[in-house]
Structure 1
Amino acid sequence: MGSAQSSSSTAPVSFSQDLVDHLADNVASPEPSPARQGSIDAQIRARIQAELQHLRAEEQSVRDQIHAALEKENLDRERAMAGDPDSIKTSASLLADLDGVRAKVDRFHARRDLTEYPALREHSDALVACYKNNPSAPLDCWHQVDQFKASVAEIEQQHIKSLQ
């Protein structure tokens, strides 16, 4: 029945050259769909970010190792130069010493306040003003100098009496 119709015909099939070229181009460079391309791009970005984080972590580790090696080398060099390993100070002890010096400076400035001695402060200000007003003739300020010296002598006497 149907076998007569299923006999093969030998008619030649021809395709246009444009169709052949288009199919050849698609086989040579197949482009994925936009959704597939977005997924591929996201995976690539994720891999790049992961690798970037890994490289940053390695870089920080190398920096830490270099810092530790340099610190050890500097300490060894300082010990060799000092000869006495106990005399080497670390940065923490140096910072503590610096804070102590700052505290001493602050105490010194607090003592220089002179609020307890208004006469001394007044004579000091007068002397400074005289020197500023007479930059080319400082010897004209002899009277203010004498008053300042007298105030200082008076305060010294008061201090000596307070110690006795």
Structure 2
Amino acid sequence: MGSSQSKGDAPPKPMVFVNEENPVPVRISSSFANQIAQSQPVSGSPQDIESQVRQRVQAELAKIQAEKQENEFMNYKSTTNANAVVTEQEMDQLAKHAPGKHVKVLPEEIVKAQDALVACYKKNPERSLDCWAEVVEFKELVQKAQNAFVATAKEV
């Protein structure tokens, strides 16, 4: 009875499975069947199985979240690069179409009044009201220049 089990010389017999709908035999060697049986987890308590399922789900969720973050970063990076290129092109276009910077030279009398006013403020840092005469002179000169500009603009 037990003599056939103790003999190790005989090769293991392959298992044969037949699908009833499609009668094609499938042969599986016993070593492959043993390998599959050993890789299967030993069924335990429902809490152990639930714990394993939770761990696998958590690992899969972490993997999905990492992939999602990587995709979002790549999208952000490509969008940022595209925005930078567009902004640079817009700046170049504006620079081409913008009129040249026209610096209007102030009349010499306004520059002198401005310098006098600044000198007065520096001379009297705590008593700025002592510079009222310089302020009045500067304001009058600026008003005259504005009136002259408006008059020339109306003529054109």
Higher relative strand content: 2
Higher relative helix content: 1
Specify if TM > 0.5: no
TM-score, with structure 1 as normaliser? 0.39
